[in-house]
């Protein structure tokens, strides 16, 4: 009887260890995280719609029916990434995620002086290099320093009503995500 109790207690103790071990392993081992789902849908540096309206990968991005979203995967070890969008929309917001889908940095249209979406993602080391000789076309850009290699940038746009649908779709289709 004592030995049975001992076995059960040992089992419960082991259950605690297994619980914690799996919990800490899940983020590393997950095969269906945002990056993997997006990798199935498109290449690096390709802006892809991720909202359910456009048949995006389920659950990734915004589920809010009044929002449309597009995302682009990048790898800063290849170089500096610049994202530009033409035109104006009622509200846009940008989030930068690391490889594991954690939100590293976010900002919205109030951050930009002109309301235009034009920003550059780079590592602190690349920032030092770029500061030495800032190209003319980057004078107005927002610089986002992110200490990471692989990452995802997501742009979310508010659609106040149906009449904005086409404007927002055109806006999202016009966003470029390129290496410079």
Partner 1 sequence: MLKTAFLTLLTLTIAIGGGTASLWYALRTPDGVGAVTIGGWTAFPEIGTPNADPYSKARVARQGILSLGRAEGLAFVADRDAGGAPLRRECAYRIEGSTPPARFWTLYAADGAGRVVNARDGRASALHSLELLRQPDSSFAIAVDSRPAPGNWLAVSGSGAMRMVLTFYDTPIAGSTGIAEVELPLVIEAGCDG
Contact residues: partner 1, CB under 8 A: 3-4, 6-8, 10-19, 21-24, 26-27, 30, 32-34, 36-37, 50, 52, 57, 59-67, 71, 91, 93, 95, 97, 100-108, 110-111, 152, 154, 156, 158, 160-162
Number of C-beta neighbours around residue 52 at 10 A: 18
- Cβ at position 87, least distance to partner 1 in Å: 20
- Cβ at position 38, least distance to partner 1 in Å: 9
Residue closer to partner 1, measured from CB, 14 or 79: 14
Residue closer to partner 1, measured from CB, 25 or 134: 25
| Tokens matching residue 105 | 């940095």
- Cβ at position 11, least distance to partner 1 in Å: 3
Residue closer to partner 1, measured from CB, 77 or 111: 111
Q: How far apart are CA 8 and CA 151, in angstroms?
A: 45
- Cβ at position 132, least distance to partner 1 in Å: 29
Question: Does residue 72 contact residue 47 with C-beta atoms inside 8 Å?
Answer: yes
Question: Does residue 173 contact residue 155 with C-beta atoms inside 8 Å?
Answer: no
Residue closer to partner 1, measured from CB, 30 or 128: 30
Question: Does residue 146 contact residue 105 with C-beta atoms inside 8 Å?
Answer: yes
- Cβ at position 15, least distance to partner 1 in Å: 3
Note the helical H segments in the chain: 2-29, 34-41, 124-132, 165-174
Residue closer to partner 1, measured from CB, 36 or 136: 36
**Contacts (Cβ under 8 Å, ≥6 apart) of 105:** 95, 96, 144, 146
Question: Does residue 122 contact residue 159 with C-beta atoms inside 8 Å?
Answer: no
């Amino acid at each position: 009887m004592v030995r049975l109790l001992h076995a059960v207690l040992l089992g419960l103790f082991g259950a605690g260890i297994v619980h914690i071990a799996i919990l800490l392993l899940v983020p590393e081992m997950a095969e269906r995280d945002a990056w993997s789902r997006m990798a199935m849908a498109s290449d690096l540096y390709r802006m892809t719609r991720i909202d359910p309206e456009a048949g995006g990968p389920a659950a990734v991005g915004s589920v809010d029916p009044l929002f449309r979203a597009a995302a682009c995967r990048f790898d800063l070890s290849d170089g500096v990434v610049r994202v530009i969008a033409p035109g104006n929309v009622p509200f846009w917001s940008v989030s930068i995620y690391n490889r594991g889908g954690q939100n590293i940095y976010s900002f919205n249209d109030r951050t930009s002086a002109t309301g235009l979406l034009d920003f550059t993602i780079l590592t602190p080391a690349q920032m030092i290099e770029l500061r030495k000789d800032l190209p003319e076309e980057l004078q107005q850009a927002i610089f986002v320093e992110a200490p990471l290699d692989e990452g995802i940038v997501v742009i979310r746009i508010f659609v106040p009503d149906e009449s904005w649908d086409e404007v927002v779709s055109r806006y999202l289709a016009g966003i470029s995500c390129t290496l410079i």
